[in-house]
Chains A and B, each alone.
Chain A
Amino acid sequence: MLSRRSFLKVFAGMAAATPLAGGAALFRRWRAGLGSRGAPALVAAPGVDRTLVHLADVPARDGDATIAYAASPPAPAAAGLAQRRWVMVIDLARCDGCRECTRACSAMHFAPAGQEWIRVYEMRDNDAAAPYWLPRPCMHCDNAPCVKVCPVSATWKRADGIVMQDTSRCIGCRFCIAACPYGARSFNWVEPPAAQPGRGAAYDEAWNQVHRKGTTEKCIFCPGLLNEGRLPACATACPMGAVYFGDQAEDAATNSQGETVRLSALIQQNAGYRLMEELGTEPRVYYLPPRKRAYPAPPQGGGHAVIPGGHR
């Protein structure tokens, strides 16, 4: 959403530089329904053919997509966006193990202590191979073992590929944790701290900021942010631009540095692979091998086995 404040910034910049264009922009904004709070500045009306819109002359801070998709109503969190097929690509050659993704994820979802929905592993495939970092979000498998075993549909597959989790339905049998080969699921063993003030006052499965004792949780690709046209928290936070996220149907992926690349080319040209392909889970997260790493490797002996938090 283009907030009123950023709109004013836009307006000020325009007015100072080119009053003419600024006037035109204001005119269009007025036509688009000035005054209604949160209304986008410019609407790329998908229903109208051949509408010529000039989005590029509005220097939106949050990326163009903020404006273009703000007009569409938010999709119901349960069903997902029918036309989307979300995919994540993680470039292991760029990951330097800073764990900004983990921090951003935990901050975004107020993840309870001891849980890491995207966990950065220190991996070494064999003695001859170099060590590398492996960030592991939920793989959002197309053949998801967790979805198969859930007895109450507390976890399910959305149309856009996201494996969702509803902690208001979960009975806490932990079968999904047993079934997940990636260890991507966490359990609220004790009463989680109350949600921080802000968005998470009421439970919304698209944001998953409220946590409940005795239920399972995991990475859900931040559908709340996706609805707003923003990258998931981990992808935005990666200072290396190692986490690409995009829509397979559009064959595009974007990272935190604003690079938008062709998804198929990214995977094919860099020998992209999926974790434990042999298990047949059909993950929606691709990895680019840690080739020609430009960053320090993880320590050989491991040693970061313990994280703070977690009850005893």
Chain B
Amino acid sequence: MPARHRPVVLCLLLIALSAAAADGGQPGGLSLAEETRTDGSWLLTATVRDDTGEPVEGAAVTFLARTAFGWLPLAEAATDAAGIASFSLPAVPAYREVRAGADAGTTLSAELLLARPPAPELVRRPGLDVLREMSHQPGLLSPYPPIQILFVVALLGAIWTTYAYLVFLLVGLRRAP
């Protein structure tokens, strides 16, 4: 960063810090909280408050999840007397990021990144795994159960061994009595 921009950035930084502080103290708006359940699902709770901090009843809250290419609407719920709308997010599909949006006079939204356990590794048998890792485009041996390889090797091996034996016999013809 060029040095002459530094004062400007510092200035903006101060403003940003103050903005962040203001964010935290705001009584109104939409807040989203999650709660893990034993079965792996999540209870999402959106609380809508007005500017004075009072809960808003009957506000339509939309829960959305981030997917690969956009926000997927999951459910809509109206807030109750406590200003709370909740939605039970099932364990599967495993969305990482959810959002709640509400229209209570102004458009409010809040996002939450869910703590998901890391995706399970695909379990592979170690022997085949080694072969498969050699190339993502599996070659001669890797994509087959060993029985097929054994079958082909046994069949072709038997034939070629016989050939070799016959050639051996022929080469030894000179010494035959």
Contact A21 B19 (CB under 8 A): yes
Contact B137 A153 (CB under 8 A): yes
Contact A53 B135 (CB under 8 A): no
Which residues of A have CB within 8 Å of B138?
Answer: 153, 156
Which residues of B have CB within 8 Å of A22?
Answer: 12
Contact A26 B137 (CB under 8 A): no
Contact B72 A261 (CB under 8 A): yes
Does residue A44 face the partner (Cβ distance < 8 Å to B)? Answer: yes
Q: Please count how many residues in chain A sit with their CB below 8 Å of the partner chain's CB atoms.
A: 59
Q: Please count how many residues in chain B sit with their CB below 8 Å of the partner chain's CB atoms.
A: 39
Contact B16 A63 (CB under 8 A): no
Which residues of B have CB within 8 Å of A156?
Answer: 136-138
Give A231's nearest chain B residue, CB to CB.
B69
Minimum C-beta distance from A196 to chain B (A): 27
Which residues of B have CB within 8 Å of A246?
Answer: 67-69
A252 to B72, CA, bound (A): 7
Contact A44 B97 (CB under 8 A): yes
Does residue A260 face the partner (Cβ distance < 8 Å to B)? Answer: yes
Contact B12 A27 (CB under 8 A): yes
A68 to B96, CA, bound (A): 11
Does residue A250 face the partner (Cβ distance < 8 Å to B)? Answer: yes
**Stretch of B52-60, B108-116, B156-164 lying at the A interface:** B108-116
Taking A79-B136, A166-B137 as contacts, is the C-beta distance between A229 and B111 under 8 angstroms?
no
Given A48-B113, A49-B113, A63-B70, output 12 extra A-B contacts at Cβ < 8 Å: A20-B15, A26-B9, A27-B20, A46-B96, A50-B114, A53-B113, A78-B136, A153-B135, A156-B137, A229-B68, A229-B69, A259-B70
